[in-house]
Amino acid sequence: MPRVSFTGNLQRHLSCPPAQVAGETVRAVLEAVFDDNPRLRSYLLDDQRRLRRHVNIFINERMVCDRTGLSDQVTAADEVFVVQALSGG
């Protein structure tokens, strides 16, 4: 099963420990994580179920391409890393 982990600055706002969940796409993996942690959904997805602008997701070292449908393929050996981007001056 893919392993999902979250950046430290996201963990400061709510508990989101690394997890191993079933799923063949980024969307399926996230939905499995949301089943155990429903509050995390609003931090990552907007009201249209798209990835928020300030969030990036990597599969291994490759950033996902489909930020709207989250259809990028995930294998059982993959690491999915969720990053909350920082901005400012």
Domains and CATH numbers, the chain: 3-84 (3.10.20.30)
Query: What is the tally of helices (H) and strands (E) in the chain?
Result: 3, 5
**Owner of token pair 């969720």:** 82
pLDDT tens-digit profile of 40-79? 999 999 999 999 999 999 999 999 999 999 999 999 999 9
**How large is the average pLDDT for residues 6-14?**
86
Residue 12: per-residue pLDDT = 83
Q: Say whether pLDDT at 89 is over 60.
A: no
